[in-house]
Amino acid sequence: LKHQNNVMYISEIVEINNYRNLTGKTITFNDTLNFLIGENNIGKTNILELINICLAIGKFAETDFMDITLPIKIKFKVKYSNEEIGYFEDNFDVDDSNSITLVAVQDSVDERINYYHDTPNQTKIGMATIRTMNILYYYAQRMPSKEVDFRKTSGSGKVLNYLIQHSWNNLKYKKKIFLRKQSIELSYST
């Protein structure tokens, strides 16, 4: 979770209800860089998967519910720059026009997540808006020979391809770059 100028980011997961082992937890993120460090089985991966499910997948699985008779409810705060005001249309937190507190609720295993602004009106936020938030979820396969193959669209290759595409799309000055196949050497060992 990295924040740069003009890039929105999750500043806090305010409330977690009925999701795996994270029920009752709150998580505050630094606006620059965050590390999740700790012993095995305390929820580091669950935090990353929670963010991925909320922002990219849009549906919790049955195994995500601590109690399948209760809904999963996640409340999180998104901060953004002045240039990004309006991303959520006229919705923003009253105490901070550069943030919005969103609630993601999935009432049952068979439904999808519904999103709304955390206000008395509970203004619905569409999944199309949520999905345009920039997220890249990468889970190590623990197979080093596959992880270091940057030509693939999984593992490290997925991350590298994303970074190249994102950088290329965000170039301020259009440049023509010509690469000759003969001048590029790719070497790695398996």
Output 82 or 24, whichever has higher pLDDT: 24
The closest of 13, 78, 23 to 48, measured between CA atoms, is 13
CA distance 113 to 103: 10
Which ranges constitute the DSSP H helices of 16-155?
Answer: 44-52, 127-131, 144-147
Output 82 or 148, whichever has higher pLDDT: 82
pLDDT at position 188 over 50? no
pLDDT at position 172 over 80? no
pLDDT at position 180 over 50? no
Residues 6 or more apart in contact with residue 178 via CB below 8 angstroms: none
pLDDT at position 2 over 50? no
Q: What is the pLDDT of residue 174?
A: 47
The closest of 94, 97, 95 to 80, measured between CA atoms, is 97
Scan for tokens 């305010």, then name that residue: 14
- What separation in angstroms does the CA of 66 have from each of 24, 77, 134, 172? 12, 23, 28, 47
Give the β-pairing of 124-125 and 114-117: antiparallel
Domains observed in the chain: 9-131 (3.40.50.300), 144-183 (no CATH)
Q: Whole-number mean pLDDT of the chain?
A: 82
Residues 6 or more apart in contact with residue 48 via CB below 8 angstroms: 36, 137, 139
CA distance 28 to 13: 6
Q: Convert the pLDDT of each residue in 82-96 to its tens digit.
A: 888 888 988 888 899
